[in-house]
Amino acid sequence: MNTLNWSELSFGYIPTDYNIRCVYKDGKWGEIEATTDTTISLHIAATSLHYGQEAFEGLKAFMGKDGKIRIFRPEENAKRLQNTCDGIMMPKLPVELFMEAVKKAVVMNKRFVPPYGSGASLYIRPLLVGTSAQVGVKPADEYLFVIFVTPVGPYFKGGFQTTPVVILRQYDRAAPLGTGTYKVGGNYAAGMLAGEKAHQMGYSAVLYLDAKEKKYVDECGPANFFGIKNNTYVTPESTSILPSITNKSLMQLAKDMGMTVERRRISEEELATFEEAGQCGTAAVISPISKIDDIDENKSYIISKDGQPGPISRKLYEKLRAIQYGDDSDIYGWNAVI
């Protein structure tokens, strides 16, 4: 513990003291419990293992200058998890139970919340899995909800600096009416091969186009996409992307900064018109994009000519971070303070 170098953390798993659990059985949720056991024992026919009846969430806690810990918009994650539950036939976890479990996970691992000024945060990973046996493709009767936490640094090496992304036309992440709007593990398994290819070629992520027409921008592997031009923040409308809480927050902050906000389809050609673009998400925060290569079509969209993040992306990033760390006032009540 004393050996943790907070400002050098990457986005990886570091063991912490406790994880939180809650079991769904006989049609109801049980008590919230804390454990030091980092393993779970699963039936070999558990639906999560065979049929991907599994969902997760991702959110962060931040240590403020005032010594208070702020968890960013946890109710939004609770609601998104409920939406995912509806999508893959899992029992909905009550929002209050989610909130209590998240707070408990943070409080019980308080010594792992990175100090103010380190630039790091405590990543909170809720997970819900079908645990009981089925052989036919049917929902489980029993479920396990787990939350573990781990201190993290930036998702993309170097933090707030530009990286290139790539369009790989041979791969889709999610079907237009599939599970793209849900945070299910299968979406990430579906993106691993393309993601790995992108990394091998020196890109930080894949930028997926819509799977049906391959004409419109969907999102990046682990984050939403946004573009900026003419004082307008533009982000895709799509039935196959995850509704990002970071993106929703940035849309509000952009409006507050006097920008126009547009949520609509973005054609690939429009990429050529953006003055700035970025990936946004809990892990990614804002990760500005330097260029977008469509390698199969031999096209390249240069977003940042000098390789530096643009001024609006920087302003949005700094504003979001200031709210999360408690440096700026939280006028929308986004933080759960503990």
- The reply to whether 246 sits near ligand PLP by the rule CB under 6 A is yes
C-beta closer to ligand COI: residue 166 or 285: 285
- The reply to whether 223 sits near ligand PLP by the rule CB under 6 A is yes
User: Which value, to the nearest 10 degrees, does the dihedral of the CA atoms of residues 137, 138, 139, 144 take?
Assistant: -50
Number of shown-chain residues binding ligand PLP (CB under 6 A): 12
Nearest to 288 by CA among 309, 306, 268: 309
8 Å CB contact between 184 and 84: yes
**Rounded distance between C-alpha atoms, residue 131 and residue 57, angstroms:** 18
Stretch of residues binding ligand PLP (CB under 6 A), selected from 31-39, 243-251, 265-273, 291-299: 243-251
Q: What is the CA radius of gyration of the chain?
A: 20
Chain positions 57 to 116 lying near ligand PLP, rule: CB under 6 A, are 58
Assigned token pair, 258: 């006097």
- The reply to whether 283 sits near ligand COI by the rule CB under 6 A is yes
User: Which value, to the nearest 10 degrees, does the dihedral of the CA atoms of residues 83, 84, 89, 94 take?
Assistant: -60
Read off the amino acid at residue 94. Answer: P
Q: Which residues contact 52 (CB under 8 A, 6 or more apart)?
A: 88, 184, 185, 186, 189
The count of other CB atoms within 10 Å of the CB of residue 326 is 20
224 contact, one of ligand COI, ligand PLP, none, CB 5-8 Å limit per kind: ligand PLP
Q: Which residues contact 41 (CB under 8 A, 6 or more apart)?
A: none
C-beta closer to ligand COI: residue 189 or 302: 189
Stretch of residues binding ligand PLP (CB under 6 A), selected from 24-32, 82-90, 204-212, 237-245: 237-245
Chain positions 195 to 224 lying near ligand COI, rule: CB under 6 A, are 222
Stretch of residues binding ligand COI (CB under 6 A), selected from 16-24, 66-74, 263-271, 279-287: 279-287
* Interacting residue with ligand COI among 82, 163, 238, 282 (CB under 6 A): 282
Assigned token pair, 56: 């997760």
Beta-bridge mates of residue 289: 163
Q: Shortest gap between Cβ of 242 and ligand PLP (angstroms)?
A: 4
C-beta closer to ligand COI: residue 222 or 227: 222
- The reply to whether 54 sits near ligand PLP by the rule CB under 6 A is no
- The reply to whether 58 sits near ligand COI by the rule CB under 6 A is yes
The count of other CB atoms within 10 Å of the CB of residue 2 is 3
Using Cβ positions, the residue closest to ligand COI within the complex turns out to be 58
* Interacting residue with ligand PLP among 242, 266, 271, 320 (CB under 6 A): 242
C-beta closer to ligand COI: residue 205 or 271: 205
Q: Shortest gap between Cβ of 133 and ligand COI (angstroms)?
A: 28
The count of other CB atoms within 10 Å of the CB of residue 25 is 13
227 contact, one of ligand PLP, ligand COI, none, CB 5-8 Å limit per kind: none
Chain positions 95 to 134 lying near ligand COI, rule: CB under 6 A, are none
C-beta closer to ligand PLP: residue 140 or 178: 178
- The reply to whether 281 sits near ligand COI by the rule CB under 6 A is yes
Burial letters for 282-315: b for 16+ Cβ neighbours within 10 Å, e otherwise?
bbbbbbbbbbbbbeeeeeebebbeeeebbebbee
Read off the amino acid at residue 206. Answer: V
304 contact, one of ligand COI, ligand PLP, none, CB 5-8 Å limit per kind: none
C-beta closer to ligand PLP: residue 139 or 243: 243
Question: Residue 276: left if φ>0, alpha if ψ -120 to 50, beta else—which one?
Answer: beta
Read off the amino acid at residue 95. Answer: V
Read off the amino acid at residue 97. Answer: L
In the complex, the residues that contact ligand COI under the rule CB under 6 A are 58, 222, 281-283
In the complex, the residues that contact ligand PLP under the rule CB under 6 A are 58, 219, 222-224, 242, 244-247, 281-282
